[in-house]
Amino acid sequence: MAKAPVILWLRRDFRLHDHEALHAALDEGGPVIPVFIHDELCEALGAAPRWRMGEAVAAFAARLEEMGSRLVLRRGSARAVLEALVAETGACAVHWSRAYDPAAIKRDREVKAALKEAGVNAQSHKGHLLFEPWDVQTKQGGPYKVYTPYWNAVRGRQLAAPLATVGDIPSPETWPDTEALGDWEMGADMNRGADVVALHATVGERAAQGRMAAFLGDKIAEYQEARNLPAETGTSNLSENLSYGEISPRALWHAGWRRIEEGASGAQTWVKELVWREFAAHLLYHYPQMDERNWREEWNGFDWRRDNNDAAAWRKGRTGEPFVDAAMRELYVTGRMHNRARMIVASYLTKHLLTDWRVGLRWFEECLIDWDPASNALGWQWVAGSGPDATPYFRIFNPATQADKFDPEGDYRKAWLAEGQAHPTKTALSFFDAIPRSWEMSAEDDPPERLIGLKEGREKALAAYDALKQGRKDG
């Protein structure tokens, strides 16, 4: 008798290399039906992450078709879709790669329980992270709250070698019906922006592997210095591909350690950055409200401003602070922002503009094509001062001195700012092709006035921080 089919539920693991869930599905011995579900979590994604998810799905579907398989697309609640597919196909098992953010955990628990109840072999697998969040514990037991001890705990761990790339996936005799990706209009909320951002995205497993080879080959040796210069391509840019599982973190870990052993000078720094991603996931898993609430409760008494006109100007790259505006425009045009720039714009919003970090977090969630719930939450709370292992609040980035240091020739600002320039660059002009017309901005406008002087903003921020400390003493 023919073996019953097996469903492989793809979520953020669009690759054929080092894919534990795919191998487990193949090991069942029957035909495999790869499925992507446009469910409530997909619906809830910000505009750019949802658009980018659509690109990842399209690229992976094309890859599967090249090898004679398919990606079945369905829309609806994950549980209802999987139950229906099991009934339609007689599938005996469903395999998927684990996700660790609270919404995904809740969904996956319900799905697993329902499938098991129906007698289906429902199994989740490792793949999105190097280390399961529950596998790294302090000596006293419990999660880490500080990065360096976390790094020391994992740095010497031996991870299994990446699994082989799958070259053949047995097809079922008949394929279940599929919906059309185009009908989902995953880029609809991007308005005019999708075509512009598309020029800057690097989609799919092959492209991600090319990126990895290029970076780990030459660039990594200069990473230590170049990673701080936003006008240069000094970092790997792999966060976009990691977000959608187009590259395996374990493949990156092994490749990074090989480069350390070969003596590439920036390699250890880079592997440590990969581990920041792990640390972020570890924290969000153990503190599931990290993306909504101040991690340090004492910050609940801080007098943050809610969303406001200054924050709206920040979103539009119109604060009058050139480095901040350049970065905010880079974000809108490319769906990315250099890490140093992320820290500076986050500091400017939460300190100079005294605006709640959640206002910034939500805008990044809307715009980033490498959006990751854990890294984004950790990044914002780290800069704001309210998070675990955070930078002290009184360390306020000065965007002007940061620009002098990390953009000494002004190349980054020239790349992204058009107003007042005799010959604006193509990238700076492309911002005006991407933004909604309702913003009423034009490259011919005068450069924006500063919203606030840097010294004045710093003093106001420090005063608010003193008030928080005083309140704590009084309370």
Closest separation between CB of residue 311 and ligand FAD, Å? 14
Assigned token pair, 177: 């019906």
Q: Nearer Cβ to ligand FAD, position 123 or 243?
A: 243
Q: Nearer Cβ to ligand FAD, position 368 or 415?
A: 368
CA distance 373 to 264: 31
Closest separation between CB of residue 383 and ligand FAD, Å? 6
Q: Nearer Cβ to ligand FAD, position 89 or 97?
A: 97
Residue recorded with tokens 């008798």: 1
Closest separation between CB of residue 252 and ligand FAD, Å? 8
Q: Nearer Cβ to ligand FAD, position 371 or 406?
A: 371
Binding mask 274-303 for ligand FAD (x = CB under 6 A): x-xx--x-----------------------
Residues 255-274 interacting with ligand FAD (rule: CB under 6 A): 270, 273-274
Rule CB under 6 A: choose which of 228, 265, 308, 339 binds ligand FAD: 339
Q: Nearer Cβ to ligand FAD, position 89 or 381?
A: 381
| Binding region for ligand FAD (CB under 6 A) out of 298-306, 319-327, 348-356, 375-383 | 375-383
Q: Nearer Cβ to ligand FAD, position 108 or 372?
A: 372
Q: Nearer Cβ to ligand FAD, position 36 or 364?
A: 364
User: Is residue 371 a contact residue for ligand FAD (CB under 6 A)?
Assistant: yes
User: Which among 50, 70, 16, 64 has a CA at the least distance from the CA of 178?
Assistant: 70
| Binding region for ligand FAD (CB under 6 A) out of 310-318, 325-333, 379-387, 417-425 | 379-387
Q: Nearer Cβ to ligand FAD, position 69 or 334?
A: 334
Given phi > 0 = left and psi -120 to 50 = alpha, else beta, which region is 100? alpha
Closest separation between CB of residue 342 and ligand FAD, Å? 4
Count of residues making up the chain:
475
Query: Cα dist. 327→156, 321, 364, 380 in Å?
Result: 36, 10, 12, 16
Residues 225-244 interacting with ligand FAD (rule: CB under 6 A): 227, 235-239, 242
Residue of this chain nearest to ligand FAD (CB atom): 379
Assigned token pair, 170: 């047995």
Q: Nearer Cβ to ligand FAD, position 276 or 439?
A: 276
CA distance 387 to 470: 20
Closest separation between CB of residue 380 and ligand FAD, Å? 5
Closest separation between CB of residue 361 and ligand FAD, Å? 8
CA distance 15 to 58: 12
Rule CB under 6 A: choose which of 97, 124, 375, 427 binds ligand FAD: 375
CA distance 73 to 93: 18
User: Is residue 370 a contact residue for ligand FAD (CB under 6 A)?
Assistant: yes
| Binding region for ligand FAD (CB under 6 A) out of 71-79, 145-153, 373-381, 403-411 | 373-381
Contacts with ligand FAD by CB under 6 A lie at: 227, 235-239, 242, 270, 273-274, 276-277, 280, 339, 342-343, 346, 364, 368, 370-372, 375-376, 379-380, 383
